[in-house]
C-alpha cells in the first residue's frame, strides 16, 4: 500500500494548456506530484525569506503592530540632551532678566549672578586655607584696593583689558547740566542731567528696548540692551516713546524729559550706564555739556 502511494506520488502527469474557445492545444509539460510539491515548498521558503528580510532590514517593520522605529532610542536621547540644553539656556535667561530688573529698580545684584549672566569665566584654583590670620595692613590694603577699583572700568580686575579697544562711542542722550554726579558709595549709579523743558531723550547706541514701564522710584523708565554687554537706563521721564522689544538706533528719540517717580526732585534725566552687570560713570564716556 505504501509502495503504491509512493509510486503514485512519483508518477508523471502531463499538464496541457488549451485555448478556451477553439480547444486548440497551445502547449504542455510533464510534471510529477513530487516535483510540483517541491517547487511549491521552495517558492514558499523564498517568499518567507524575502518577506522576513524586508521586515527586519527596512522601515516596513514600523507598519507592523508591536514593532518600533530602530532609531527611536537615539532620537529620544538626542531630544533629552536638547531639552537639558534648553533648560539651562532658559535658566541663564531668567538670571539675566532678573538682573536687569534689579538694575531698573536700584536693587543690589550679587557678583556671582552678574558674572554668570555676563558669561564671565573666573578661575578658582584649589588653594588650601591658610591657618594664619591676615595682618592688619593686609586687610586695610584689600579694603582700599577694592574701594578704588569697584567702579573703575579700565582698572577693574574683573574686566578683560582687551575689551578696552572695543568700547563703543556713545551718543549724547540729552544736553544739559549735570547736577548730581556718579557716586557708587552712595548707590547713585548714574548722573542727573537738567535740560530744557520737554527735551527729547535719545538712545546712546544701537540696541533693543528690554524695559519700558513705570516704576515707583524711577517713574517712567526705559532700558536698552546694547552690543558688547552694555546697558543704558533712562529714568524720571515725562513719557516713553518706545516699547519693550523695539529696535533703536543711536540718536533715536525714546522718551521726553520729566520728573516722574517718587524720588525725583524735579524735571531731569537720571542716566545710568552698565557694563557686564557693573555700573560705569557716564561722564567718563559722554559729555553732557550744553551746546
Whole-model pTM: value is 0.52
CA distance 86 to 97: 16
Distance, in Å, from the CA atom of 276 to the CA atom of 142, rounded to the nearest integer, reads: 23
Lowest mean pLDDT among 16-30, 51-65, 169-183, 184-198: 51-65
Contact of 17 with 39, CB cutoff 8 Å: no
> Which residues in 202-216 are b (16+ Cβ under 10 Å) and which e?
bbbbbbebbbbeebe
Q: What whole-number distance in Å separates Cα of residue 16 and Cα of residue 25?
A: 7
> Measured between alpha carbons, how far is 50 from 30 in angstroms, rounded to an integer?
29
Residue 202 pLDDT: 95
pLDDT value, residue 257: 95
For the chain, strand residue ranges (E) read 12-18, 25-32, 177-180, 191-194, 200-202, 207-215, 219-226, 230-240, 247-248, 253-257, 269-275, 278-280
Q: Are 25 and 18 in contact (CB under 8 A)?
A: yes
Using CA atoms, how far apart are residues 111 and 76, in angstroms rounded to an integer?
38
Supply 197's cell numbers.
523743558
Domain boundaries, the chain: 2-59, 72-117, 169-284
Domain 169-284 belongs in CATH node 3.50.50.60: no
CA distance 282 to 105: 18
Res 159: pLDDT: 46
Q: What is the pLDDT of residue 253?
A: 95
The pLDDT of 204-216, averaged and rounded, is 92
pLDDT of res. 234: 96
- Let me know if 55 is exposed, middle or buried by CB neighbors in 10 A (0-12, 13-18, 19+): middle
Residues 34-40 have a mean pLDDT of: 83
CA distance 255 to 270: 12
- The secondary element (H helix, E strand) that includes residue 144 is helix 136-149
Amino acid at each position: 500500500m505504501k509502495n503504491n502511494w509512493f509510486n503514485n506520488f512519483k508518477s508523471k502527469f502531463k499538464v496541457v494548456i488549451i485555448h478556451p474557445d477553439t480547444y486548440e492545444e497551445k502547449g504542455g509539460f510533464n510534471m510529477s506530484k513530487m516535483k510540483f510539491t517541491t517547487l511549491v515548498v521552495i517558492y514558499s521558503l523564498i517568499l518567507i525569506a524575502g518577506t522576513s528580510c524586508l521586515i527586519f532590514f527596512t522601515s516596513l517593520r514600523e507598519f507592523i503592530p508591536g514593532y518600533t522605529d530602530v532609531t527611536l532610542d537615539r532620537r529620544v536621547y538626542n531630544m533629552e540632551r536638547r531639552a537639558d540644553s534648553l533648560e539651562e539656556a532658559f535658566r541663564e535667561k531668567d538670571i539675566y532678566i532678573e538682573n536687569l530688573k534689579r538694575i531698573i529698580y536700584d536693587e543690589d545684584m550679587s557678583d556671582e549672578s552678574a558674572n554668570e549672566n555676563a558669561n564671565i569665566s573666573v578661575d578658582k584654583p584649589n588653594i588650601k586655607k591658610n591657618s594664619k590670620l591676615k595682618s592688619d595692613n593686609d586687610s586695610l590694603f584689600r579694603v582700599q584696593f577694592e574701594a578704588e577699583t569697584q567702579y573703575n572700568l579700565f582698572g577693574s580686575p574683573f574686566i578683560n583689558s582687551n575689551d578696552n579697544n572695543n568700547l563703543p562711542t556713545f551718543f549724547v542722550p540729552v544736553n544739559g547740566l549735570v547736577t548730581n554726579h556718579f557716586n557708587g558709595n552712595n548707590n547713585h549709579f548714574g548722573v542727573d542731567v537738567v535740560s530744557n523743558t520737554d527735551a527729547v531723550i535719545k538712545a546712546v547706541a544701537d540696541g533693543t528696548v528690554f524695559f519700558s514701564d513705570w516704576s515707583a522710584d524711577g517713574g517712567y523708565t526705559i532700558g536698552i540692551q546694547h552690543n558688547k554687554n552694555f546697558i543704558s537706563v533712562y529714568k524720571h521721564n515725562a513719557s516713553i516713546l518706545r516699547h519693550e522689544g523695539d529696535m533703536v538706533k543711536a540718536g533715536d528719540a525714546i522718551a521726553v524729559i520729566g520728573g516722574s517717580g517718587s524720588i525725583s526732585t524735579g524735571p531731569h534725566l537720571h542716566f545710568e550706564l552698565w557694563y557686564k552687570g557693573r555700573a560705569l560713570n557716564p561722564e567718563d564716556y559722554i559729555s553732557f555739556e550744553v551746546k
